[in-house]
Amino acid sequence: MPSPAPHGRLGHTIRPDATLTILSEACGLNNGPVLVVHGGAWAIPDDMVEAHLNGARNAIAAGWRVLESGGSALDAVEESVVVMENDEAFDAGRGSFLNREGKVQLDSLIMDGGTLRAGGVGCVEHIANPIRAARKVLSESPHVYFVAEGAERFAQEHGIPLCENEDLIIPREIERLRAFQASAASGKEKENLFAPAISHDTVGAVALDRSGNIAAGTSTGGTLNKAPGRLGDSSLIGCGCYADNQSAAVSTTGWGEPIMKFVLAKWAADRVASGNLPQWVADEAMNYLKDRVNGHGGIILLDSQGHFGISHNTPRMAWALRTSAKLESGVNRE
């Protein structure tokens, strides 16, 4: 089925980046591996752009080594996300936002498009790489999701070492939380934590391997000063992450509550299954998110033919992609 004309749901014309569109179409012709990562959609300041680009490129390098050697899409996604969880530039793993009690709470999901198996963990405080724990859930549990102490107990029982929560906290985030809470206590105008200018450095990856299987993974530290126990979209199946060989692998980032309301990752995958190219679907998803509930964020998606989409309705989003022919990265769609 041919793709429809590129117009938003409410009639807003969208202009996909020509380079991305051409490269996406070309990738769909070669059946080789494809890897796409994102490092969060927000107004990344100029002095932080290079750190975000380097982090995305390092993630691509790690995942591509897996794919290039004949490894699975699932392994490539896991390795890519681990690199970004270990990078303090992003809101995932060490260096994540602190909740209102001054703790790091992490969420992650990984999904295999070939089997529809998925694994997720939420509200974990003592796991440095929650994507590793999520992968253990996928591979070694009949369940899909574990939270809090139960997730940590499962992880430890399956060889994932636990850490102190203090090991995940860095001075930058202590100061960020202190400044926000002091401002709120003084009665000054409260900062909108969900505004596009505020960091939403959730990380994610989607991959296609040589066997034609796709996978997706997403990991996050959530939002600054969040209530303990709050979950966003990132680790919820079909919201922040989804993969099905018959449609697409998807990872989202941004303001989680609106994304959850649309089950946006599954929303996008379903439109790929209906015959639309992923780049058009990515742009349409961002238009719909904005038009319907004034939401903001970003999305990456990839089908089993190698067509991909990258889009965001925030000022910037760190992303990178790799195919057998190309290596690209950026922070916006020019």
Q: Distance between CA atoms of 331 and 3, rounded to whole angstroms?
A: 26
The values of phi and psi at residue 77, to 5°, are: -60, -45
50 half-sphere exposure, CB direction, 13 A CA radius: 1
Q: Which residue has the tokens 């440095």?
A: 128
**Of 258, 260, 218, which Cα lies nearest the Cα of 239?**
260
Choose, from 13, 19, 115, 202, the residue flagged as catalytic.
202
Q: Report how far apart the first and last C-alpha atoms of the chain are (Å, whole number).
A: 28
> Element (H or E) spanning 251, and its range?
strand 249-254
Strand order from edge to edge, sheet including 214-220: 145-147, 118-124, 106-112, 214-220, 203-208, 34-42, 316-323, 327-330
Q: Catalytic: 223? A: no
Distance of CA 85 to the CA centre of its chain: 11
Q: Distance between CA atoms of 17 and 285, rounded to whole angstroms?
A: 15
Active-site annotation, residues: 202
